[in-house]
Structure 1
Amino acid sequence: MQCFKAQSFKEQNNTGIRSSRVSVRGTFTAADSLIIADANNPLQYPTQGVEVRPTRTILIPGLSLNVKYKKGQHLVHLTATMGTFDTAVLVDGLQISGEGEMHISFVSDSLALLNRQLQFVTYTNTQFHPNTADVVQFKTTGFQAVFTIKIRHPPMPTFYNPGPKRDYNVSTLVTIATKTFLRYDKLQDLIDSIRKFYPTVTIVIADDTKDPKPVKGPYIEHYLMPFGKGWFPGRNLAVSQVTTKYVLWVDDDFIFTSNTKLEKMVDILERTTLDLVGGGVREVTGYTANYRHIITTDAGDEEGDCLHIRKGYHHVIEGFPNCVVADAVINFFMARTEKIRKVTFDPRLARVGHLAFFIDGLGTLHVGSCDDVIINHASKIKGMLPWGQSETDKAYSAFRYPSEKEEKVNEYDLYYLKNHFKCITSD
């Protein structure tokens, strides 16, 4: 057996201990808490919070029979489908049958002795599955109850070095990721603006230009892709190379300013359960966009469900008056690296895509948006005018905005083909 020791384990990570295991922030919820149902019928049992690792054994907490003034024998049965029962301690004065099997019975003339024995009932998972649950039936004469035992490996913690305690060390906590294609002039403007405020933050660049140019400099990682591979594949590549706790996504034509305070984004992610927090993007006109949306679904029939996308947000975050909870935010956000990798970006979206990521993350990502962290958007006016377009602008536009006749997979195709939505409404 190999044992590893990290001297700064407790200092570097906000962790708690429950049932002799590390409870990783963001993986433990109220649904994991142990709850014992007091006997509304004579049976007392755990309604949730019982968990066993695959092929391991646990004591089942909270089992009890509560009856008054009943003469004669007291009888209870336990039945499982993916494991067996046994007793850790034998109490005298009982008849037990089915030890080591999927069904076990206890009979006693003494209610006190029976309940004492029920404190030592064990469950052993015998049918391996990395993440499932066994449904256990608990019965006595005239009554029955059902509860579940989760069977799973515990979530694996991922720890990162947060740097010195005094302030957030953005260079240690955050990696900036972007995807580029042809626009090396805009990419260099982005890099120059980042270095003005964050000279040692690592920048990861995914590049699918046909004839790529070198992008060099300290703390820059430039990864080349097959020509025209696309938008979401580039996001996946960039995020796959991040080794910090957080990743900041930016477009290659964004510009950092004094209002692009990454420390504020880190602060809200450190102090809340949010997995992703967006900021604002200021256009050359002076308008700042946040792109906050609420996403809901309605159950449908065999032809599919319905997707509803509405502008707005759910509520303001307590303690952060400039921040709200939403389901989708703008294309400038910081996220927990571990969580964003669980959702991923669908590689079929090569040209256009944004909402598809948040729809895939619905139910997985806890999303927020803060309007006091702002990044600038480089002007597109010149590049959109025919007389102002360079050859690079024209080539970029041809790929970025394909013709209607060109076969392509867009977000709406995926909503139907992958997510099985038969209808979509939006405002």
Structure 2
Amino acid sequence: MAGLAALAIAYVLSQFYRSFLAVLTPVLGSELGATNTDLSLASGAWFASFSAMQFVVGVCLDKYGPKRTAAVLLAIGGGGGALLFAFATQPWMVITAMALIGVGCAPVLMASVFIFAHTYSTARLAILTSWLVAFGSLGNVVGASPLASAAGAFGWRPVMMGLGVVTLLTAASIMIFLRDPHRDGGQVAGVGFSGYLELFKIRALWALFPLTAINYAAAAGIRGLWAGPYLADVYGADALMIGQVTLFMALAMVAGGFIYGPLDTMFRTRKWVAMVGNSLSLAVIVYLALNPVTSIAQTTIIFVLIGVTGAAYGLLMAHGRAFLPTHLTGRGVTLLNFFSIGGVGIMQFATGPIVSANAVEGQPEAGYAALFAFYAAMLAIALFIFLFVRDAKPERAKLATA
């Protein structure tokens, strides 16, 4: 239990690191000369390195187990990257630090999902994963107005140094307290990276990949990157106001994880819960694209709705897990996670140029209207493909015997 608690704390840190840049937008711009494009690259670097590492993490989970995989990568990448960020003097150092932190955070959630998958039935996987994601989303909360207040009181560099130390201590706790789950047949070392080729042959996963890649992109992109520039450029919001708005969105993402968790069991379907939830998300994003200038209060409500409806990650993971062979559990869940985080990373890289290309002098909302329209278009395409996915209805929840 102490080991899972350490993993949960590590996941709070992971959620924090992927979303805190929006709050530091003003200070990084004034002190380091970081532009919106620089910050887009930095945020994208986190998601790109995180997603690329999923292939390595999957093999390591099946071969070495979650304890060593999570502890070592979190210490080197997460702790080291946070300390590099604290001493950054140029935008490229922030980009490099974010890439390192992405490497460190890559195994955290997957280590937990791996343990759940080898301990509980697939019927419980959705609710366990969703609730862990909801708990971890407290990192989004800390990365909003609390971070803005702490950075204002102590300075952003001391705050980042403190976070680096906390990350190192968390990695040490995982190594000390976490126990790898028992698996029949022992470690699966021989398949290696070729196991991913076997996974790509599972046709039931093909129509699931696009929505897995896009479902979280708008919520993560707005909360972690674009909320700050959008609120500052369109409404003239300062760091504290940005922190307050993103705090509400972060709390909504927490609530969304808890709400999605039991819905597949309640309605006996995963496909249609995901379809309805993401369709609601699409409708809200379309509204924002058509109405980029309203008021901060109305924008906050819209961000809250995007945060709630875009939290179907745990549900989609459980949907995909139902199609995975047992001996490829580690690689399977990390492949799904690759699409989830990789989709966000690609969108982060793409959105910077979209905002810049559509910017109109004296009309800052023009670039952001194009941004929200892009999110809506990608989600609409993913939902259309998802119509062809095979449903994976949850079984009766029971403790697995393995």
- Taking structure 2 as the reference length, the TM-score comes to 0.23
Q: Between Structure 1 and Structure 2, which shows a larger proportion of helix residues?
A: 2
- Structure having the higher Rg: 1
Structure number with higher relative contact order (C-alpha < 8 Å, ≥ 6 residues apart): 2
TM-score by length of 1: 0.22
